[in-house]
Amino acid sequence: MFISSAFAQAAPAAASGGDLQSSLMSMLPLLLMFAVLYFVMIRPQMKKQKEHRAMVDALAKGDEVVTAGGLLGKVSKIGDAYIGVEMAAGVEIQMQRSAVVQVLPKGTIK
């Protein structure tokens, strides 16, 4: 009366090719999002870093530069990690090479 009969269920079918296909289809959106992220964010950032590194490596004495702080000056000394930048007549500061943001055309600073 109070106990109902229990019926055995059939065992699930063995994994077939359809299960593999459905798991790949469920991974497809994740793979597409990673591909979009790579081409929209990661790749351009790596390219920008590469260009900045090349610009900093190519600095030469006499180049007119803009620093990360927005200061303009002319490169007067060059070292491995630091450069001397002349901001005004007789005013020279030492700064890291990586702080240079842009190299200006010659004659920009007067």
Angle at 42 between CA 37 and CA 45, to 5 degrees: 140
> For every residue of 19-74, which 3-state class applies, written as one string?
HHHHHHHHHHHHHHHHHHHHHHHHHHHHHHHHHHHHHHHCCCCCCEEEECCCCEEE
> What radius of gyration do the chain's Cα atoms show?
31
Is residue 40 in some structural domain?
A: yes
Residue 65 shares a structural domain with residue 104: yes
Residues 69 and 104 in one domain: yes
Residue 10 lies in a domain: no
pLDDT at 4 (0 to 100): 73
Tell me: do 70 and 110 sit in the same domain.
yes
DSSP H or E segment with residue 94: strand 91-96
The answer as to whether 6 is a domain residue is no
CATH number, domain with residue 66: 2.30.30
Same domain, 65 and 106: yes
pLDDT digits (tens, 9 = 90+) for 57-106: 999 999 999 999 999 999 999 999 999 999 999 999 999 999 999 999 99
Q: Can you give the residue range of the structural domain that contains 23? A: 17-58
Residue 5: its pLDDT value, please?
A: 73
